């Protein structure tokens, strides 16, 4: 997607996240924080020229994009270079990431790695863990907004 669209999605998801509690709504909190972070990551990657800013949407299948014909309201499946990433490292990006984005990815990966044990699986959450999740999300967001510079200030 385009940078402006990613920033809009980040704004929507971040607002939804504020209505959720990281402990009592842990599953949806984790997922929403992850999606918000991935949209901001895509905006930062496009802005840095690491990935291309194109009007296509990542599907559930790694590396496969739906390209919209907005006039006709139809979509074509296309395999192309990123484009948007679905998750950190998916699809892989060949060129090195700017340091601030790389560090944001470390924090975003903390959130992404919660999916299997706590969303798809039912491992108990240890006391206080949600504070670490919130810190990881905030670190990810702050770093990516910083990487976006003035574009990030609209958020």
Partner 1 sequence: MTPEEHRAKALRIEHSLARLTDADYEAIVEGAMLAGTHWFNILLHRTKLFPETRDAMHAEFLTVGERRRVAAKAADALAALDSIEALRTLQVRGDMPGGEQAARTARECLARLRNAAGR
What residues are paired with 74 via a beta bridge? 69
Contact between 8 and partner 1 per CB under 8 A = yes
**Residues between 19 and 78 that touch partner 1 (CB under 8 A):** 19-20, 24-29, 31-32, 35, 57-61, 66, 68, 75
Report the alpha-carbon distance of residue 133 to residue 148 in Å, rounded. 23
SS3 69: strand
Q: Least separation, in Å, of the C-beta of 99 and partner 1?
A: 27
What residues are paired with 92 via a beta bridge? none
Q: Least separation, in Å, of the C-beta of 25 and partner 1?
A: 4
Which of the 8 DSSP states describes residue 97?
P
Residue 107, φ and ψ in degrees, nearest 5: -70, -40
Binding site for partner 1 (CB under 8 A): 1, 5, 8-9, 12-13, 15-17, 19-20, 24-29, 31-32, 35, 57-61, 66, 68, 75, 84, 86, 119-122
């Amino acid at each position: 997607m385009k940078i402006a669209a990613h920033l809009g999605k980040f704004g929507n998801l971040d607002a939804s996240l504020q209505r959720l509690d990281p402990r009592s709504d842990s599953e949806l909190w984790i997922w929403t924080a992850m999606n918000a972070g991935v949209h901001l990551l895509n905006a930062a990657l496009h802005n840095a020229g690491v990935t291309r800013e194109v009007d296509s949407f990542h599907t559930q299948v790694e590396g496969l994009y739906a390209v919209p014909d907005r006039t006709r309201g139809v979509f074509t499946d296309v395999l192309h270079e990123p484009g948007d990433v679905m998750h950190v490292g998916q699809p892989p990006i060949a060129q090195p990431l700017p340091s601030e984005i790389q560090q944001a990815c470390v924090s975003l990966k903390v959130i992404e790695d919660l999916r299997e044990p706590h969303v798809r699986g039912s491992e108990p959450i240890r006391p206080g863990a949600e504070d670490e999740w919130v810190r990881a999300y905030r670190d990810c967001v702050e770093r990516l907004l910083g990487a976006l510079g003035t574009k990030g200030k609209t958020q």
